[in-house]
């Protein structure tokens, strides 16, 4: 019997194998048959009541029919929708939706003027009691619990402050954080390319988009000169390892907003059409990148109004791209975990006659430790295999039976996917 063992390791930034040639077996960058991945990541600001929140959820998930990312406030001084608002309906709806994955982001510890470390445990205690897991943190406006480096007045990772909480927050399960980092270049986790800058110019909004482009060029130049505030332009990673001010390491991710008037203006439901326009989605597919869109669906949420026509049309177009197998649309938690797990997947491939044995050993996570993944963590993972070959995927000595062989994709290669 002919046997050949080929080592494999995770994907690097451009989705190619880092150091090994795997002959014809290769970890596919995205699940079959997709060419790009996107999430609409909405902050909960201005979604003041449970009714408003339910309306947004229903519209995007049912009327349009796509998953997206939504967040929650643990506290709110003015009694707006929040986990610990004191209204049982808020509490049970938020807990149920976190459990079901339709809320996956904690939006700082919310709006609480006297926030301090002692407010942290009641939040996580409540989540733990109800089997809720949250891995993604997003800073909110000027909340003192923020983690930002350059604005937003975050004190959450400064051990000398009463607001310090990040040790408890990481212990409670947060792995990914977003602070204040926004890009307007389409497609992350692919090398920086000046062509992505040129498409910022929009003849329909000539002056605004020109200014926007000029500002972006300045930031990119500063990034190449070593200006740390803008270093994410140069690397163009979706996720990078970040050392908090208390010395802990977490994954920091970048969000996208290319609005011609800037992200601070173009962050509402009515502006969403511009962020997921046909031009953006085509570029995203072309560069085969990741994209986490920054928006607030509760701001100016009026899907029935005439001014929402363009956004509704763009959302339906995104749904079509998803159904056609072009763009993998999921929540932020799913996209971020997929990106990290494929990046650090430790696997080998052995050939026995015409059968390829893909052996998954572990995920070698440099921040939170190596682990053997649960098969559910590997759902949608896809490996290219030679045409006509048979393949099996083995995880920790046991074959994963839920797999399917896919016909050739747009690149002409056949593949096997864990389902």
Tokens of 222: 């500063």
User: Under the criterion CB under 5 A, does residue 321 sit at the interface with Zn ion?
Assistant: no
Confirm or reject binding of residue 267 to Zn ion (CB under 5 A): no
Q: Which stretch binds Zn ion (CB under 5 A): 59-67, 140-148, 323-331, 382-390?
A: 140-148
Q: How far is the CB of 54 from Zn ion (least distance, A)?
A: 19
The label of the residue with tokens 């995920």 reads 363
Give the span between the Cα atoms of 67 and 73, in whole angstroms: 20
Asked if 112 interacts with Zn ion (CB under 5 A), we say: no
Of the pair 42, 196, the CB lying nearest Zn ion is at: 42
Residue number with CB closer to Zn ion (295 or 342): 295
DSSP per-residue string spanning 3-16 = EEEEEEE-B-TTSS
Tokens of 43: 């902050």
**76 or 242: CB nearest Zn ion:** 76
d(CA 317, CA 309): 12
Residue 163 sits in the site that holds Zn ion (CB under 5 A): no
Closest to Zn ion by CB, 45 or 252: 45
Q: Which of 43, 104, 157, 321 binds Zn ion (CB under 5 A)?
A: 43
Interface with Zn ion (CB under 5 A), residue total: 3
Which single residue is written with the structure tokens 């006509």? 388
141 and 343 Cβ atoms separated by less than 8 Å: no
Q: Of the ranges 138-146, 239-247, 280-288, 343-351, which one interacts with Zn ion (CB under 5 A)? A: 138-146
Between CA 105 and CA 140 the distance in angstroms is 11
In the bound state with Zn ion, the residue whose beta carbon lies nearer, of 140 and 234, is 140
The answer to whether 104 contacts Zn ion (rule: CB under 5 A) is no
- d(CA 358, CA 403) in angstroms, rounded, equals 12
Beta strands at 176-178 and 136-138: parallel, antiparallel or unpaired: parallel
Least distance between Zn ion and beta carbon 107 (Å): 6
Piece of the chain touching Zn ion by CB under 5 A; list 35-43, 110-118, 215-223, 233-241: 35-43
Shortest distance (Å) from residue 144 CB to Zn ion? 14
- The tokens describing 79, both together, are 């009694």
Q: How far is the CB of 45 from Zn ion (least distance, A)?
A: 4
The residue number whose beta carbon is nearest to Zn ion equals 140
Min dist. Cβ of residue 78 to Zn ion (A): 14
Contact call for residue 140 and Zn ion (CB under 5 A):
yes
Give the DSSP H or E segment for 44: none
- Tokens 């956004």 -> residue: 311
Q: Provide the token pair at 87.
A: 């209204």
State the Cα–Cα distance between residues 300 and 277, nearest whole angstrom.
18
Helix (H, G, I), strand (E, B) or coil at 150: coil
45 near Zn ion, judged by CB under 5 A: yes
Phi, psi of 195, rounded to the nearest 5 degrees? -60, -35
In the complex, minimum distance from the CB of residue 272 to Zn ion, in angstroms, rounded to a whole number:
16
**Distance from C-alpha of 220 to C-alpha of 201, rounded to nearest angstrom:** 16
Q: Which is nearer to Zn ion, 270 or 287 (CB)?
A: 270
In angstroms, give the least distance from the CB of 411 to Zn ion: 40
8/110 with CB nearer Zn ion: 110
- Quote the Cα angle for 308-49-147, to 5°: 90
> What token pair was written down for 75?
């506290």
Minimum distance from CB of 178 to Zn ion (Å)? 11
Q: Give whichever of 44 and 120 is closer to Zn ion, judged by the CB atom.
A: 44
Distance in Å, CB of 296 to Zn ion, minimum: 7
Stretch that binds Zn ion, among 29-37, 137-145, 173-181, 201-209 (CB under 5 A): 137-145
Q: Which is nearer to Zn ion, 76 or 330 (CB)?
A: 76
DSSP result, 38-96: EEEEE--TT--SHHHHHHHHHIIIIII----EEEE-SEETT--S-TTSS-HHHHHHHHH
Distance CA 11, CA 14 (A): 7
Cβ closer to Zn ion: 43 or 157? Answer: 43
Nearest distance in Å: CB 299, Zn ion: 10
Residue 145 near residue 155, CB atoms below 8 Å: yes
- Segment interacting with Zn ion (CB under 5 A) among 139-147, 158-166, 270-278, 375-383: 139-147
Residues binding Zn ion (CB under 5 A): 43, 45, 140
């Amino acid at each position: 019997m002919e046997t050949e063992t080929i080592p494999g390791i995770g994907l690097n930034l451009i989705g190619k194998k880092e150091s090994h040639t795997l002959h014809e077996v290769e970890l596919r960058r995205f699940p079959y048959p997709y060419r790009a991945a996107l999430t609409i990541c909405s902050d909960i600001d201005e979604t003041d009541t449970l009714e408003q929140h339910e309306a947004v959820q229903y519209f995007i998930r049912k009327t349009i029919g796509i998953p997206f990312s939504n967040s929650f406030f643990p506290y709110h001084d003015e009694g707006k929708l929040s986990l610990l608002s004191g209204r049982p309906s808020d509490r049970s709806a938020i807990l149920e939706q976190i459990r079901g994955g339709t809320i996956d982001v904690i939006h700082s510890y919310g709006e609480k003027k006297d926030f301090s470390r002692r407010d942290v445990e009641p939040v996580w205690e409540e989540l733990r009691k109800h089997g809720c897991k949250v891995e993604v943190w997003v800073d909110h406006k000027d909340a003192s619990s923020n983690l930002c480096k350059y604005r937003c007045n975050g004190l959450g990772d400064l051990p000398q402050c009463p607001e310090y909480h990040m040790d408890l927050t990481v212990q409670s399960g947060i792995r990914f954080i977003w602070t204040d980092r926004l890009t307007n270049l389409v497609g992350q986790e692919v090398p920086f390319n000046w062509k992505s800058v040129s498409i910022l110019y929009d003849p329909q909004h000539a002056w605004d988009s020109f200014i926007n482009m000029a500002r972006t060029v300045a930031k990119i130049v500063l990034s190449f000169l070593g200006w740390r505030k803008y270093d994410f332009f140069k690397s163009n990673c979706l996720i990078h390892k970040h050392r908090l001010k208390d010395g802990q390491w977490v994954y920091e991710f970048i969000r996208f907003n290319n609005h011609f008037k800037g992200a601070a203006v173009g962050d509402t439901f009515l502006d969403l059409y511009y962020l997921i326009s046909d031009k953006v989605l085509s570029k995203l597919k072309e560069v085969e990148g990741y994209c986490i869109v920054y928006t607030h669906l509760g701001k100016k949420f009026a899907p029935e109004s005439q001014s929402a026509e363009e956004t509704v049309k763009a959302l339906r177009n995104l749904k079509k791209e998803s159904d056609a197998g072009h763009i993998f649309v999921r929540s932020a938690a799913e996209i971020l975990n997929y990106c990290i797990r494929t990046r650090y997947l430790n696997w080998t491939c052995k050939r026995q006659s015409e059968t390829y044995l893909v052996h998954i050993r572990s995920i070698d996570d440099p921040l939170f430790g190596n682990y053997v993944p649960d098969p559910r963590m590997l759902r949608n993972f896809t490996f290219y295999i030679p045409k006509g070959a048979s393949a099996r995927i083995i995880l920790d000595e046991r074959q994963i039976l839920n797999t399917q062989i896919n016909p050739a994709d747009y690149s002409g290669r056949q593949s096997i996917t864990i389902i």
